[in-house]
Amino acid sequence: MAWLGLTLLAALGWWRLGAARVLLALAVLWAGWVLAALWAGGLDERATGRLALGAVLLPVGAYALLIGALRRRAARAATPRPGEIGARPGPAARLAAPAQPPAPAPDIAPPADPEGPLTDPELDRYARHIVLRELGGAGQRRLRAARVLVVGAGGLGAPVLSYLAAAGVGRITVADDDTVGLSNLQRQVIFATADIGRPKVRAAADAMARLNPHVAVTPLARRITADDAALVGAHDLVLDGTDSFAARAAVNAACVAAGVPLIAGSIAQWEGQVALYDPARGGPCMACLFPAAPAPGLALSCAEAGVVGALPGVVGSMMAIEAIKHLSGIPDSGAGSGLRGRMVLFDGLWGETRSIATRARPGCAVCGGTG
């Protein structure tokens, strides 16, 4: 009964007086009881057991108390005080203050020397890339030095732009002449409801700047035509996510004229495909595989045939990973394989993926079948 009463008294004191004071009081009582028992002539077996119990519980309690104090101190240090930057306003201030627009992305220019060593923030940001044996620091520096043109900021362009910016591709040009519409938000995940009505290239550039301020983004609010060989030639790689045969054919013609590799993707309903067209380095061009536009009604647009929202994310991510491999030199090093001379087909309805071989077509009207 004495132990039960002492336990209840300690619990009440812990609640009302605080853990540190109660623990100190218990330690004093325990030490006094030990001294009294020794003064009285020694410790019997029962007293020895109580002595050992106290010797174990008191240090454990002190350790728990110390850990709790350190956690509370860390929490107070991490919480801004009223008036400091980052502090939450009080209830009255929240009611009186008007809604503020989101803060702009920090204006951090890409490194002036793309070939230079990675900075400490970049080493931290790209740490998961750098530890990859196939990519490493050298591959990450190649990504930073790369110049990429992404044509189309829609369903496929959204994941492509997001992942290339996150990966640290140094300079990205995005070309699209469309504006954000409500029906786009079902699959074009780089945009938000607040972006409706804005040019897609501007909204995408803002999102990419928020994601990675070390990347330079050039928005180009127009289409790419077959006459844009000079523009295409200023880039190391082109990724095409447009949704019409005419637009794809124009991008392909410009890439062939400039000798720049083209990663092209397309989607419809539940299916998608990705290919690398590079006749300058032994592969086919798009016209080698698709020399003429499909007959009317055979290749419906997403607006006509529909598309499951997650499909562009899957196919666009495949395009992004092929771009990362290509730009970092992984296929050339033999550590992996690219899609030159191959096309990957994805069927989301049945969960199947397969690869088919592609080759240049002799007499191709665009590349001449020289691949």
pLDDT digits (tens, 9 = 90+) for 233-265: 999 999 999 989 999 999 999 999 999 999 999
Confidence band for 296, pLDDT divided at 50, 70 and 90: confident
Q: What's the confidence (pLDDT) of residue 294?
A: 86
Q: What's the confidence (pLDDT) of residue 76?
A: 47
Structure-token match 């928020």, residue found: 210
Q: How far apart are CA 344 and CA 355, in angstroms?
A: 4
Please compute the mean of the pLDDT values over residues 293-310 and round it to a whole number.
82
pLDDT at 112 over 60: no
pLDDT at 357 over 50: yes
Strand-pair partners of 354: 345
Q: What's the confidence (pLDDT) of residue 228?
A: 96
CATH architecture for residues 146-357? 3-Layer(aba) Sandwich (3.40)
pLDDT at 309 over 90: yes
Give the angle 190-192-195 at the CA atoms, nearest 5°: 105
Q: How far apart are CA 289 and CA 278, in angstroms?
A: 12
pLDDT at 25 over 90: no
Domain boundaries, the chain: 2-78, 88-100+118-135, 146-357
Q: What is the residue-averaged pLDDT of the chain?
A: 81
pLDDT at 63 over 80: no
With contact defined as beta carbons under 8 Å apart, do 145 and 115 qualify? yes
Q: Between the CA atoms of 121, 124, 129 and 135, what dihedral angle is there, to the nearest 10 degrees? A: 60
Which phi and psi (to 5°) does residue 286 adopt? -65, -35
28, HSE (Cβ side, Cα atoms, 13 Å): 6
The more confidently predicted of residues 52 and 162 is: 162
Q: What's the confidence (pLDDT) of residue 303?
A: 76
Q: What's the confidence (pLDDT) of residue 100?
A: 41
The more confidently predicted of residues 77 and 258 is: 258
Confidence band for 106, pLDDT divided at 50, 70 and 90: very low
Q: Residue 253 has which token pair?
A: 């013609």
pLDDT at 102 over 60: no
Lowest-confidence range among 33-42, 151-160, 238-247? 33-42
Please compute the mean of the pLDDT values over residues 288-292 and round it to a whole number.
94
